[in-house]
Structure 1
Amino acid sequence: MTAFDFMNRNSAEFDAIRHDLHAHPEIGLEEHRTSAIVAEKLAEWGIEVHRNIGRTGVVGVLRSGSGNRSVGLRADMDALPMQEENTVEYRSKTPGMMHACGHDGHTTMLLAAAKYLSETKNFDGTVNFIFQPGEEGVGGAKAMLEDGLLERFPSDALFGMHNKPGLPVGKFAIRSGPAMAGGAFFDITIKGKGAHGARPEDGIDPVMIAGQMITALQSIVSRNIPPSEVAVLSITKMAGGDAYNIIPDTATLGGTVRCFSSAIMTQIQELIERTITNVAAAFGARASLDFRLIFAPTINDPEHADAFAGAAESLVGEASVDRNTEAAMGSEDFSFMLEKTPGAYILVGGGEGAAPHHPRYNFNDATTPYGAALYATIVERTLPARAAG
C-alpha cells in the first residue's frame, strides 16, 4: 500500500482531527489544547513524544533500522486573532480566533504522515516530527531553536510545506534559492513639542514631520536598493494627536519591510534610521526606531528542493510539479530553522477558495492526502530502507 493509498483509506479519521482543531483554534504560543492532542496521537501510535519545546511546541521521534541519518518534518499549529465567517459545522467555537491560514491542515498532514510511518517503518534512520507553535509573527520557530530543537533532535535535512489556494489540488510548487521574503516590522516615534493648533510657531509639529518622513522613506528602495534586488517598504500605520485644536507632542508611524536578502534587510534598517533621524533634526525634533526582524528570508537548498520536487513527482507526475514557481513576498518563520539546517519548503495545491488570512478561508480537506503522502515519501526516499539479506 502506497502512502497516498493509506491517506485516502484513513481520510475520515484525518478529516475529523482537522475539523476538531479548526473548531478549537489557539493563537501563537498558547496552543495548549492543540499540542496536547498532537502529543496524545503521537504516543498512541508508538512515537516518542517531547513537549513544551518553545513553550507549546511538540517533537515526535520515530526510529527504524540502524541508520544514523535523520530527517525533520515541520508543521505549524497556531491560528489567527480574527473572527470566522464560515458556516461549516466545525467553525470556530472561540470568538475572535480562527484557523485562517490552514495550520489546522498542516498539523493534520504531519500527524497523518506520522501514523503512516509508524505503521510501515519503511525507512532506515530517524524522523523528527516538529510541531511548531507561534508561526504568525510571534517567534515560534526562534523559541523552539532557543530551547535546543536542533541540538536535541538533530536532522540532516528539514522539510516543510504550506497550502496554496488557487493552485489546484494534486499539484505542487517549489523553487530553489529564495522562496519567500524575509519580513520585519518597525515603529517610528517622533518627539516634537505640543502647542495650540492656532499657534504652530510655539511648537514643533510631529504630525507634519511624520508626513515628510513618509515621503522620504519611500525613496529608500527606489533610490538605494539595486533594481536586481526585490524589496518592499510599506508604511501601514500613522497616529498622532487626539483633538482638532492641539498640536501633539508625539506622532508615530509603523510599517513593514520585505526582501530576499539578509544583507539588504540590514541596509534598509540602517537607511530608515538615517532618514528619520535627519528629517526630524531638520525640524528640531527627535525620532527613534524600533526595528524587529520577524522572519528571515526562506531559502531552499537546491539539493533538497530538487529532492522534494522529485518526491512530489513520484506521487503526482512531472506535469503536476512546478519546479520554478515565483518567489513570494509573504514570509514564513520556518526560515529560521532553514538558516541552521538545509532543507526545503514546498507549496501544496489547495484548490479554489478564499485566500489565507480571510475570514472565509477554510483549509481544503482534499489537500490532506497529498501533503501527508509527500511528507511520508520524502522520508522514504531520503532514508531508504535497507534490503533484507
Structure 2
Amino acid sequence: MNEKIIALRRELHKYPEVSNREYQTTDRIVNFVNEYKPDEVIRLGDKGVLFVFQGAEQGKTVMFRCELDALPIQEILEHEYTSVNEGVSHVCGHDGHMAIVAGLAQKISNDRPKKGRVVLLFQPAEEVEQGACDVLENVNFKNNEPDYLFALHNIPGLKKHKIVLKKGSFASGSKGMTVQLTGKTSHAAEPQDGISPADAISQIIKKLHVLKADKKLFSDFILLTIIHIQLGEISFGTSPGYAEMRITLRAFENEDLRLLTSLCEKIVKEIASSEKLACEISYTEVFPATMNNNCCVDIVEQAARQNGLNVEHIKTPYKWSEDFGYYTEKFNACYFGLGAGTEQPQLHNPDFNFPDDIIETGVNLFYSIYKSTLQ
C-alpha cells in the first residue's frame, strides 16, 4: 500500500468541496503532483488542471481523467478524516479517483514516456454536468486533445478489484426537463373565471406513463421519472394559475434520448394548447450516454489481464449518468468500473467511504494502459 497516496486521499476526503467550488482541492492536487515534476501544468480556468508528462519523441497522447467535486450530503461516518465542511462530503468516491490519478503521476515520474505523452486531467463539476462541457470548450484543453482517453468509477456491490467493461453504451444519457405552465389565477369559488393548470398536469402525467410503457418506440431501455410538481399556492381561496413539473428523462442510447425528449415535448405542448395554457420547456443537467470505443475497451481488458484482475463484461449499461459521455462523443475513450466491495455502501449514501485498498489496483491498471498505448 502506498501510504503517501492514501494520506492524500484522506486529506481530500476531509476537505471536500462541491461542484464549481473546488479551489482548495485543486491547490492540494497541484502541490502534490508538482513533486513529481510534470513537464507542464496547464490550468483549465480557475479549477480544472492538466499535468503533462512529455516524451522526447512525437507520438500519441493518452489521457486519464478524474473528478474534483464532492456532493452536498452530510457524512455520517466518524473517523480521523471525516469531512470538516458541514453538509459536504466525498460520498461518490471522487477523492479515491483523484488519488488513483495522482498515484499514476507518481509512478510515471519514475518511468517517463519515451515517445508521445501522458496527460492527467483533474476535472471540476462532474456532478452537475457542466464540468466536461467547460473543459471541452477551454482552449488549453483543445491544444492538448487526446488520442486515447480513459477513466474509471468505483462500483459498490461488486467484489473488490473486479474490472467492469462494456463495449458501446456503458452508462445512460439523461436530462432534467422543466415544464412551466401559465394560465390565470382566480378565486377558488369562481374557478371558471381562471385557467388552472391542474387538469393539464393530470393529463400530462397519464400520457407520459403511457409513453414510458410503449417499448416498441425505442431501440433500448428508456425511463422517465416525475420528480417534482408545484401547482399554485397554499391558499384555499385561490384557484391556481401557474404550475411547474420536473421530469428526469433517461435512455441507454443517445438516439432514444433524443426521441424521448421530442415525444415528451409533443405531449406537453399539445395538452397545454388544448387547455389554453402558455408553456415553456427547459433542460438542465444534460448527460449524453457514455459510449465506449471497442478498441479502448480491449486495451483496458488486456491491461486488467496483465495485472491478474477479474474482468466482467456487463450486458446492460448502468442507469446512472456521467458527464464523461461528452468526451466519448469526440474521442476514442473507455469508461470502466472498479469493484469497491460487496458490502460497500452505495454511491451518494451518507455512509460511503472510498476503500483505500483498491487505490493501488487503479494505479497499476492505469499504468499498464499507459505503457500499452505509448509503445
Q: TM-score range by the shorter chain?
A: over 0.9
Work out which of the residue numbers 145, 150, 157 in structure 2 matches 1:154. Answer: 145
1:90-110 per-position Cα deviation (integer Å, ceiling 9, x unaligned): 111001111110000000000
Say whether residues 1:177 and 2:168 are aligned partners.
Answer: yes
Q: Is contact 1:182–1:262 with CA below 8 Å preserved after alignment? A: yes
Superposed displacement of residue 235, structure 1: 0.8
| 1:197-346 equivalence runs, <5 A | 197-223=188-214, 226=217, 228-240=219-231, 241-292=233-284, 294-317=286-309, 320-346=310-336
Distance 1:348 1:232, change over 3 A: same
Partner of 1:27: 18
Distance 1:292 1:151, change over 3 A: same
1:236-267 per-position Cα deviation (integer Å, ceiling 9, x unaligned): 00112222331122010002111122222222
Say whether residues 1:97 and 2:70 are aligned partners.
Answer: no
1:31-52 per-position Cα deviation (integer Å, ceiling 9, x unaligned): 1111111111222111134344
Partner of 1:359: 350
SS in 2 for 1:181: strand
Q: Is contact 1:54–1:145 with CA below 8 Å preserved after alignment? A: no
Superposed displacement of residue 292, structure 1: 3.5
In 1, the alpha carbon distance for the partners of 2:162 and 2:56 equals 32
Distance 1:94 1:345, change over 3 A: same
Q: Is contact 2:129–2:287 with CA below 8 Å preserved after alignment? A: no
In 2, the alpha carbon distance for the partners of 1:257 and 1:237 equals 13
In 1, the alpha carbon distance for the partners of 2:293 and 2:101 equals 21
Q: Is contact 2:226–2:245 with CA below 8 Å preserved after alignment? A: yes
TM-score w.r.t. the length of structure 2 is: 0.95
SS in 2 for 1:119: coil
The residue type paired with residue 74 of structure 2 is Q
The residue type paired with residue 278 of structure 2 is R
Alignment coverage as a number of residue pairs: 373
SS in 2 for 1:160: strand
Say whether residues 1:43 and 2:34 are aligned partners.
Answer: yes
In 1, the alpha carbon distance for the partners of 2:352 and 2:216 equals 35
1:74-120 per-position Cα deviation (integer Å, ceiling 9, x unaligned): 11110011111111221110011111100000000000011101112
1:124-181 per-position Cα deviation (integer Å, ceiling 9, x unaligned): 3200001110000241011011103542112110000000011111211111001001
Flag structure 1 segments of 5+ consecutive residues without an equivalent: 1-7, 385-389
1:167-200 per-position Cα deviation (integer Å, ceiling 9, x unaligned): 1112111110010011111100111211222322
Alignment RMSD (CA, Å) = 1.7
Flag structure 2 segments of 5+ consecutive residues without an equivalent: none
In 2, the alpha carbon distance for the partners of 1:48 and 1:58 equals 13
The residue type paired with residue 47 of structure 1 is P
